[in-house]
Chain A
Amino acid sequence: MTIFEISKEGRIGFQLPDNNIKDFEINLPEHLLRKSLPRLPQVSEVDVVRHYTNLSTKNYSVDVGFYPLGSCTMKYNPKVNEKVASFEEFSMIHPFQPHETVQGALKLMYDLKEMLCEITGMDDMTLIPSAGAHGELTGMLISRAYHLSRGDTKRTKVIVPDSAHGTNPASARMAGFDVIELKSGPDGRVDLNELEKVLDETVAVIMLTNPNTLGLFEKDILKIAQMAHEKGALLYYDGANLNAILGRTRPGDMGFDIVHLNLHKTFSTPHGMGGPGSGPVGVKKHLAKFLPIPEIVKTEDKYTLNYNKPESIGFIRSYFGNFSVMVRAYTYIKTMGKDGLKRVGEMAVLNANYLRVKVSKIMDIAYPGICMHEFVSTCEKLTKETGVKALDIAKRLLDYGIHAPTMYFPLIVHEDFMIEPTETESKDTLDKFAQILEKIFNEARENPELIKGAPYNTPVRRLDDVSASRKPVFKYNFEE
Chain B
Amino acid sequence: MHRYIPHTEEEIKEMLKEIGINSIEDLYMDVPKTIEEYNLENGKDEFSVLKEIKSLSKLNKVFEPEKVFAGAGIYFHYIPTVVETLSNNQNFVTAYTPYQAEVSQGTLQALFEYQTMMCELTGMDVANSSMYDGATALAEAMLMAVRINNKTKILAAGSINPEFLATSKTYCTPQNIEIETVKWTESGTIDLEDLKSKIDDNTSAVVVGYPNFFGIVEDLKQIKEILPDNVVYIVVSEPIALSILEAPGKFGADIVVGEGQSLGITPNYGGPGIGFFTTLAKHVRKMPGRIIGETKDVDGKKGYVMILQTREQHIRRAKATSNICSNHALMALKNAIYMSVIGPEGLRKVARMSYNATHYLAEKLVEKGYNLTFNGPFFNEFVFNAGENYYEKWKTMANEGILGPLPLEKAMPNFKNSALACCTEVNTKESIDELLKHF
Contact: A337 with B95, CB < 8 Å? no
**Chain A stretch 73-94: residues in CB contact (< 8 A) with chain B:** 74-78, 80, 82-84, 86-94
Contact: B57 with A89, CB < 8 Å? yes
Given A34-B247, A463-B296, A115-B40 contact (CB < 8 Å): yes
Most chain A CB inside 10 Å of its own CB: which residue of B61, B217, B319, B350: B61
Contact: B309 with A370, CB < 8 Å? no
Shortest distance from the beta carbon of A393 to any chain B beta carbon, whole Å: 12
Stretch at the interface among A168-176, A192-200, A280-288, A442-450: A168-176
Contact: A48 with B272, CB < 8 Å? no
Contact: A16 with B27, CB < 8 Å? no
Contact: B284 with A474, CB < 8 Å? yes
Interfacial chain B residues near A61, Cβ < 8 Å: 90-95
The residue on B at minimum CB distance from A350 is B15
Contact: B307 with A16, CB < 8 Å? no
13 contacts between A and B (CB under 8 A): A43-B343, A56-B91, A58-B109, A95-B74, A167-B325, A174-B322, A273-B329, A275-B331, A315-B170, A335-B49, A339-B43, A341-B38, A354-B19
Q: List the 5 shortest-distance A-B pairs measured between CB atoms, nearest first.
A: A319-B270, A272-B330, A337-B43, A95-B270, A274-B329
Interfacial chain B residues near A398, Cβ < 8 Å: 100, 102-103
Shortest distance from the beta carbon of A259 to any chain B beta carbon, whole Å: 14
Contact: A59 with B58, CB < 8 Å? no
Q: Does B324 contact A (CB under 8 A)?
A: yes
Contact: A59 with B323, CB < 8 Å? no
Q: What 1/0 mask marks residues of chain A from 168 to 186 whose CB sits below 8 Å from any chain B CB? A: 0111111110010000000
The residue on A at minimum CB distance from B407 is A96
Interfacial chain B residues near A134, Cβ < 8 Å: 132, 136, 323-324
The complex places the Cα of A81 from the Cα of B155 at a distance, in Å, of 44
**Chain B stretch 26-85: residues in CB contact (< 8 A) with chain A:** 26-35, 37-44, 46, 49-50, 52-54, 56-63, 65, 68, 70, 72-74, 76, 78, 80, 82, 84-85
Q: Does A141 contact B (CB under 8 A)?
A: yes
Contact: B293 with A468, CB < 8 Å? yes
Q: What 1/0 mask marks residues of chain A from 339 to 365 whose CB sits below 8 Å from any chain B CB? A: 111111011011101100110000000
**Chain A stretch 228-286: residues in CB contact (< 8 A) with chain B:** 245, 247-250, 253-254, 264, 268, 270-277
Q: Does A159 contact B (CB under 8 A)?
A: no
Shortest distance from the beta carbon of B327 to any chain A beta carbon, whole Å: 5
Contact: B272 with A324, CB < 8 Å? yes
Contact: A22 with B344, CB < 8 Å? no
Shortest distance from the beta carbon of A3 to any chain B beta carbon, whole Å: 5
The complex places the Cα of A427 from the Cα of B348 at a distance, in Å, of 55
Contact: B62 with A38, CB < 8 Å? no
Contact: A38 with B242, CB < 8 Å? yes
Contact: B339 with A465, CB < 8 Å? no
Q: What 1/0 mask marks residues of chain A from 129 to 146 whose CB sits below 8 Å from any chain B CB? A: 011111011000100100
The residue on A at minimum CB distance from B379 is A28
Q: Does B14 contact A (CB under 8 A)?
A: yes
**Chain A stretch 103-147: residues in CB contact (< 8 A) with chain B:** 103-105, 107-108, 115, 118-119, 121, 130-134, 136-137, 141, 144
Given A320-B271, A462-B102, A462-B297, A90-B57 contact (CB < 8 Å): yes
Shortest distance from the beta carbon of B297 to any chain A beta carbon, whole Å: 4
Most chain A CB inside 10 Å of its own CB: which residue of B59, B102, B109, B269: B269
Interfacial chain A residues near B106, Cβ < 8 Å: 55-59
Interfacial chain A residues near B16, Cβ < 8 Å: 350
Q: Does A387 contact B (CB under 8 A)?
A: no
Shortest distance from the beta carbon of B224 to any chain A beta carbon, whole Å: 11
Q: Does A432 contact B (CB under 8 A)?
A: no
Contact: A276 with B272, CB < 8 Å? yes
Q: What 1/0 mask marks residues of chain B from 161 to 205 whose CB sits below 8 Å from any chain A CB? A: 101101101110011100000000000000000000000000000
Beyond the given A41-B343, A86-B84, A463-B102, please list 12 additional residue pairs across the A-B interface where CB-CB is below 8 A: A19-B427, A84-B50, A95-B270, A118-B39, A134-B323, A247-B35, A271-B326, A316-B167, A398-B100, A463-B101, A465-B295, A474-B125
The complex places the Cα of A428 from the Cα of B292 at a distance, in Å, of 36
Contact: B298 with A475, CB < 8 Å? no
Interfacial chain B residues near A273, Cβ < 8 Å: 92, 95-98, 104, 107, 111, 329-330, 333
Contact: B34 with A270, CB < 8 Å? no
Shortest distance from the beta carbon of A138 to any chain B beta carbon, whole Å: 9
Given A91-B268, A93-B267, A97-B403, A16-B78 contact (CB < 8 Å): yes
Which of A91, A268, A350, A351 touches B266 (beta carbons < 8 Å)? A91
Q: What 1/0 mask marks residues of chain B from 195 to 219 whose CB sits below 8 Å from any chain A CB? A: 0000000000000000000000101
**Chain B stretch 299-329: residues in CB contact (< 8 A) with chain A:** 299, 301-310, 312-320, 322-329
Given A276-B330, A341-B38, A474-B291, A45-B243 contact (CB < 8 Å): no
Q: Does A467 contact B (CB under 8 A)?
A: yes
A contact residues, total (Cβ < 8 Å): 197
Interfacial chain B residues near A249, Cβ < 8 Å: 31-35
Stretch at the interface among B5-13, B226-234, B365-373: B5-13
Given A2-B113, A136-B323, A48-B340 contact (CB < 8 Å): yes
Which of B6, B34, B40, B175 touches A174 (beta carbons < 8 Å)? B175
**Chain B stretch 365-416: residues in CB contact (< 8 A) with chain A:** 377, 394-395, 398, 403, 406, 410
Which of A26, A43, A264 touches B326 (beta carbons < 8 Å)? A264
Q: Does B153 contact A (CB under 8 A)?
A: no
Contact: A170 with B134, CB < 8 Å? no
Shortest distance from the beta carbon of B231 to any chain A beta carbon, whole Å: 21
Contact: A349 with B27, CB < 8 Å? yes
The residue on B at minimum CB distance from A40 is B344
Given A89-B60, A474-B291, A38-B113 contact (CB < 8 Å): no
Shortest distance from the beta carbon of A84 to any chain B beta carbon, whole Å: 5
Q: Does A389 contact B (CB under 8 A)?
A: no
Contact: A48 with B82, CB < 8 Å? yes
Q: Does B281 contact A (CB under 8 A)?
A: yes
Which of B175, B294, B360 touches A24 (beta carbons < 8 Å)? B360
Shortest distance from the beta carbon of B421 to any chain A beta carbon, whole Å: 13
Which of A48, A93, A253 touches B269 (beta carbons < 8 Å)? A93
The complex places the Cα of A106 from the Cα of B176 at a distance, in Å, of 35
The complex places the Cα of A338 from the Cα of B2 at a distance, in Å, of 12
Shortest distance from the beta carbon of B79 to any chain A beta carbon, whole Å: 10
Contact: B28 with A349, CB < 8 Å? yes
Interfacial chain A residues near B133, Cβ < 8 Å: 130, 317-319
**Chain B stretch 113-163: residues in CB contact (< 8 A) with chain A:** 113, 115-117, 119-121, 125-127, 129-130, 132-136, 143, 161, 163
